[in-house]
Structure formats: C-alpha cells, structure tokens
Amino acid sequence: MERFVDGWNIVQTLGEGAFGEVKLLINEKTNDAVALKIVDLQRAGDAKDCVYKEERIHRMLHHPHIIKLLGKREESNVAYLFLEFASGGELFDKIEPDVGMHSGEAQKYMTQLLDGLEYLHRRGITHRDIKPENLLLDEENNLKISDFGMATIFRLKGRERQLDKRCGTLPYVAPEVLKGPYFAQPSDIWSCGIVFVAMLTGELPWNEPTTESPEFARWVKSTCITESLWKKLSTMAFSLARKILNPEPAKRLKLPEILGHTWMKVEFTLNEDVTDNVEQQCKRIALPRDTENKKEIPLLPSSQPTARVPYVDISSLTAVLTSNKNQISFSQPTQNDDLLLNSQISFTQSQLTQNQFKRLVKRMTRFTAKISQESTVLRVCKALDYFEYPWSIDPASIITVSTVDSGKLQLVFKISTIDMDDHVLVDFRLSKGCGIEFKRRFVKIKNSLTDIICRV
C-alpha cells in the first residue's frame, strides 16, 4: 500500500488512461473513498492544456448522471484530479462479449446516459468521447458520465459554434466528425447509438464510420439487415438504432425523440432470467464475428508508455475484505484539506461502505483459481503460449501481454495474481487497445483454464 498524503492511502489501480492512471484512495480513519486521476504533465506537449481544460469544464458540472470532480492538486509535473469514486466500475464490464446484456438493463442505462447528456448539452458542453469505458457505475448501478478530457464548449451565451477537431474513439465516432466541421450534439448522440448497439449485442458494428469499413458501407446502403450483429436486435431496437445511427446528422434523432421512441418505453421484465435470455440470444448467433480492433483518434498521443506509477497491490484491501470485515469502522467524514492543498473546489465526500468494499473485487475480468499462486501463474503462462500471445513477466509476477488484434492494432493487458489464502485471485486489466477485443481474449484464456477455476 502506498501513502498518498498523511491519512490517505492508494489501495488499488482503477484504470489506465492516455496520460496516466486512476487509483483508488482510501482514508485510513474514515474509509472515505476517492478516485485519483494522475496526469503526467510531461507525457505529451499539450498535456497541461488538456488537463486544465478538463478541470475547467468538469468543475462546472453537477448532475446525478455525471461523475463529480471533487478537486485538483498539482505538484511539479503531475496533476491530480480527485473524482467521486464509482464503485460499480465501467458500464463496459456489464457487456458480455458477443452477447450484450438484458434489454431492460440496457434501457435503464440508455435513459440515464441520455439524461446526463441532455444536461451537458443544455450547459453548452459536448463530451466527444462517449463509450462504455467512460460511463461508470455507482454502488446502485446508476450510470455516471466520466472523463471530460475531450469535452469542449459548443454554445456560449446562446451562440452555437461548429467544431472541427477530430476527436473521440473511432468505432464510436460519428461519420461527420471525420469530415469536419460538425455540430456537437448529433455527434454525441451518434456515440450513444453505438453504446446502445454494444449493450444489446456485445459487438461494435464497425471499426470506423467510413467507406474503409465494409460493415459501415452496408449500413449506409441498408444491405446489412441479414448480418448476425443486426439480427440480434429486436425489430424495435433495430428501428431505434437506424434512427440514431443516421449518417446524416441533420436527420438523426434528437434527445427527446430518442426518449420518446417505443423501445425506450417498453416495460422489459427485469427479473426475467438473464442467463436464459443470454442463451437464447447465443443460439441466434450463427458465428460470432471477430471484430477488428479499434483505433483511438489521436487527440491524445496513441502511444501509451508503460505506466510510470508503480503497480499497487490490492492485497492489503483484500486482506481487510477476507479476514477483518467486522472490524472495519465506518466513521463520519472528517475534513480533508490535507488532500487538496491547492484546490479551490470544496470537497464533498463519499463514504466507502462494506458493500462497496465487496464490489472492489467484483470486476468481470477476474476469476479465482483453486491451485497455488505459483501454479496459477504457470498455467496462465502456458495458456498464453497456447494462444500465441506474446507475454513478459516482472519480478512481482505481473504478466504483461502485448499482442495485436485482428485489425493489427496494439492490444496490451496485464494479468496479476493475488494470494487470498484459500484461493488465488487472477485479475486481468486492459492497458491499451479495444475493450471488447480484450474481453474476448479474457474469455478465451478463462475457458481454457476451467479445471483450475473455483466455481462460485
């Protein structure tokens, strides 16, 4: 465990981004939890400007479906953004590769996403990088829009401007963004449409919305209807997808129209057995499509050097979880001025409840093994060799897999093992590349290790 400042410890890495890492900070006395986004200001020439802009925009935003920015601190060449901790992880983790999720769940997330987006647009702000990795969940699985690194103001004092900076993530980006200039609102709405399709199918429809992509070309010509991806959607969902993903921005549905669409109003029975539903959906898929990987459009540098901040072992936290649960005291929040020496933003706190503690170990890209830590590492390495994924291992036994996906784009992920006394936690974390591709590989590796995996 690493000490951040007196009383606050870094207990876990929550994610990696283009400029640095996001860590979980816990207050020793109160167990308050805060997400800490660490930005290396030297990593790219414009990192400083980017983080200032991110802060300026993010601090204006106060909405139940937008993650809160609690403060900022800067030291020499590092900026720290303190964020409300989303203990439910990424929406991404709710999407099962090639399957998606239950329609009722997707409808809930879609409503919350559009609600948050409506607020943003009303304030004249566009997000420009809406994707499931930037949509986080709180303890009650409520969606929170996050990562304002590419956000900008498109309307000021009632005057709207067109934008021309090509930014976002290619599979989610609207076609007009690549042609520029473009209007902000329809382009964010397009990205929500891709999130909608990803939630219901577990696939991304194309790598990029250009003629380079045969899938996109068929979508534009409306000759895609027989494709396995689109066949996974009900008629109603398909009709909504067609209207949101209209290549002509002026004809694309607007937010109130999406909210008024029949699919958004259907009452899906949420208690319907999701597994059955998933199985039914699986049966309808002829052959899962091996979608090529996704490129980031370089607003931020696409090369992501290995993390500068040392990996933080979560064993201290899991020890609390497994052996010491009843002794955790959850006191009332105290002052946190020590954390935010240079901050001008008042600090609101979130308390880490026992449930949240449990959720920390509930990520989808994990499993537990019933053999020793050493044997687990060996078996994982063997599986990587079998699938011909190049890997390396460091002295702390963290395996880094560095491969390319079917679209020849870089895919890097890390596998760490944590000894939990009676079992071993095997944790997969994406470092660079497409999340869906990463998950497919996770599932492949996991399926090849069923004999050592503990059944829940």
Query: Could you tell me which stretch among 42-50, 70-78, 141-149, 326-334 binds Mg ion (CB under 5 A)?
Result: 141-149
Which of 19, 82, 190, 442 is close enough to bind ligand ATP by CB under 6 A? 19
Nearer Cβ to ligand ATP (17/249): 17
H/E/C letters for each residue in 136-178? EECCCCCEEECCCCCCEECEECCEECCECCCCCEHHHCCHHHH
Q: Catalytic annotation on 313?
A: no
**What's the min distance (Å) between Cβ of 1 and ligand ATP?**
18
User: Using CA atoms, how far apart are residues 180 and 157, in angstroms rounded to an integer?
Assistant: 23
Task: Verify binding: residue 133, ligand ATP, rule CB under 6 A.
Answer: yes
Query: Could you say which of 40, 93, 98, 129 is catalytic?
Result: 129
For Mg ion, the closer of residues 118 and 147 by Cβ is: 147
Which residues, other chains included, contact 315 with Cβ-Cβ below 8 Å and sequence gap of 6+? 418, 419
Residue number of the CB closest to ligand ATP reads 17
Q: With binding defined as CB under 6 A, does residue 147 bind ligand ATP?
A: yes
Among 10, 11, 18, 426, binds ligand ATP (CB under 6 A): 18
Among 147, 296, 427, 437, the residue binding Mg ion under the rule CB under 5 A is: 147
Quick check: 187 and 149 in contact, CB under 8 A? no
| Span of 119-127, 141-149, 219-227, 272-280 interacting with ligand ATP by CB under 6 A | 141-149
Give the CB-side neighbour count of residue 390, counting CA atoms within 13 A: 7
Select the span of 80-88, 127-135, 182-190, 395-403 touching Mg ion (CB under 5 A). 127-135
Residue 134 binding Mg ion, by CB under 5 A: yes
Closest CA to 69 of 38, 35, 31: 35
Among 41, 51, 79, 86, interactor with ligand ATP by CB under 6 A? 86
Binding partner selected for residue 143 from Mg ion, ligand ATP, none, CB under the kind-specific 5 to 8 Å limit:
none
Stretch that binds ligand ATP, among 130-138, 235-243, 305-313, 327-335 (CB under 6 A): 130-138
**Which C-beta is closer to Mg ion: that of 169 or that of 368?**
169
Residue 100 or 149: the one with the smaller Cβ distance to Mg ion is: 149
The answer to whether 112 contacts Mg ion (rule: CB under 5 A) is: no
**Whether the Cβ atoms of residue 95 and residue 440 lie closer than 8 Å to each other:** no
Q: Which does 441 bind (CB under 5 to 8 A by kind): Mg ion, ligand ATP, none?
A: none
DSSP 8-state secondary structure symbol assigned to residue 369: E
Where do the H-state alpha helices sit in 149-273? 175-179, 184-201, 214-221, 228-231, 235-244, 255-260, 262-265
Question: Which letter does DSSP use for residue 100 in this model?
Answer: B
**Other residues' Cβ atoms within 10 Å of the Cβ of residue 32:** 24
Does the footprint of ligand ATP cover residue 17 (CB under 6 A)? yes
> CB 152: neighbour CB atoms within 10 A?
17
The enclosing H or E element of 105 equals helix 103-122
Least separation in angstroms between residue 177's CB and ligand ATP is 16
Q: Are 57 and 126 in contact (CB under 8 A)?
A: no
x/- contact string, 64-83, with ligand ATP (CB under 6 A)? ---x---------------x
Cβ atoms of 155 and 183 closer than 8 Å: no
Among 97, 100, 116, 149, binds ligand ATP (CB under 6 A): 149
| CB proximity list for 204: less than 8 A, separation 6 or greater | 171, 172, 194, 197, 198, 291, 294, 434, 436
In the complex, the smallest distance separating the C-beta of residue 434 from ligand ATP, rounded to whole angstroms, is: 12
Q: Give yes or no for residue 300 binding ligand ATP (CB under 6 A).
A: yes
Q: Is residue 37 at the binding interface for ligand ATP, with CB under 6 A as the rule?
A: yes
Question: How many chain residues bind Mg ion (CB under 5 A)?
Answer: 2
Task: Work out how close the CB of 47 gets to ligand ATP at its nearest, in angstroms, rounded to a whole number.
Answer: 10
With CB cut-offs between 5 and 8 Å by kind, which of ligand ATP, Mg ion, none does residue 208 bind? Answer: none
Under rule CB under 6 A, residue 35 binds ligand ATP: yes
User: Which range touches Mg ion (CB under 5 A), out of 144-152, 307-315, 412-420, 431-439?
Assistant: 144-152
Residues in region 243-262 near ligand ATP by CB under 6 A: none
Give the Cα separation of 385 and 275 in Å (integer).
32
Residue whose C-beta lies closest to Mg ion: 147
Query: Residue 34 and residue 30: Cα distance in Å, rounded?
Result: 12
Query: b/e for 366-385, b at 16 or more Cβ within 10 A?
Result: bbbbebebeebbebbeebbe
Helix (H, G, I), strand (E, B) or coil at 453: strand
Tokens for 32?
Answer: 């308050």
Under the binding rule (CB under 6 A), the answer on residue 146 touching ligand ATP is: yes
Amino acid at 72: K
* Contacting positions for ligand ATP (CB under 6 A): 14-15, 17-19, 22, 35, 37, 67, 83-86, 90, 133-134, 136, 146-147, 149, 300
* Residues marked as catalytic: 129
* Contacting positions for Mg ion (CB under 5 A): 134, 147
